[in-house]
Amino acid sequence: MALRPDWKVTTHRVIFGHDTRAGQLFDIALIVAIVLSVLAVMLESVQSIRLQYGPLLVAVEWLLTGLFTVEYVLRLACVPKPWKYATSFFGFIDLASVLPTYVSLIFPSTHYLLVIRILRVLRVFRILKLAEYVSEADVIMAALQESRRKLAIFVVSVLLSTVIFGSVMYIIETGTPGFSSIPRSIYWTIVTITTVGYGDISPQTPIGQTVASVIMLLGYAIVAVPTGIVTAELTGARVRASLMRCEGCGLADHAADARFCKGCGRAMVR
């Protein structure tokens, strides 16, 4: 097996590692650079600031994009399996964090898509070695994973309802400016059923207001369903964990995914 050149190993340790002094400095510098560059993009979109500091902000953007590009190439170069990194979640984010600047030479407005690099901040969880946060996130993801079918059924039902309610409101509110087409009425139904309620479109006829009231009360009732689904999963895991008792030593209140008793090491009957 051919050994990797020394510079690759060193670069890898600095860029990907969090143990050496150099690696930690790199991590901190990276987070600062990411936040700075996102702030630059956001401020550049404010007209009054752009008129005054525009050239400075553009310079910052190009400078940081240059550095991030070098970093991306280095990551690709020093990693043992470049393709695996390039197709991973962070590999994709890293690429998407530099591309918009170059594409903006052709399509100017795309450079605002740079804010996607804010997702690189998620690395901070890895950097701080917040293993506990990761395991907590896993619990949430597992609950969402477990209930994905229930949530899918729910979302499909809500979407079908909005199509039908939207059409009914379109027929009832003919002539009201906001309800000028079925797609707009469906938009209004979504705004209403999610209880957002902008008020840019609102029913004017007594019948329309009556049907709207029914939709609202319905939305009020069905908001309970996804909450119930997710909560049931989270609670199920939590309750089982706190009730499981080791058959050896009688100790209870184990972790949700414990396979062995935390007190005596005996395998748990699940």
Contacts of a copy of itself in 179-238 (CB under 8 A) = 180-184, 186-187, 190-192, 194-200, 202, 206, 209-210, 212-213, 216-217, 219-221, 223-238
Per rule CB under 8 A, is residue 54 in the interface with a copy of itself? no
Using DSSP's 3-state secondary structure scheme, residue 252 falls into strand
Of 15 and 234, the one with the shorter C-beta distance to a copy of itself is 234
Of 126-185, which residues contact a copy of itself (CB under 8 A)? 132-133, 136-137, 139-140, 143-144, 149-155, 158, 160, 163-164, 166-168, 170-171, 174, 180-184
Give the number of residues in contact with a copy of itself, rule: CB under 8 A.
Answer: 97
Of 229, 215, 223, 227, the C-alpha closest to 162 is: 215
Using DSSP's 3-state secondary structure scheme, residue 260 falls into strand
Q: How far is the CB of 6 from a copy of itself (least distance, A)?
A: 37
Using DSSP's 3-state secondary structure scheme, residue 265 falls into coil
Of 78 and 244, the one with the shorter C-beta distance to a copy of itself is 244
Of 239, 242, 244, the C-alpha closest to 259 is: 244
Of 88 and 194, the one with the shorter C-beta distance to a copy of itself is 194
Per rule CB under 8 A, is residue 106 in the interface with a copy of itself? no
CA distance 48 to 38: 18
Q: Which amino acid is at 223?
A: V
CA distance 160 to 225: 16
CA distance 256 to 233: 12
Of 84-103, which residues contact a copy of itself (CB under 8 A)? none
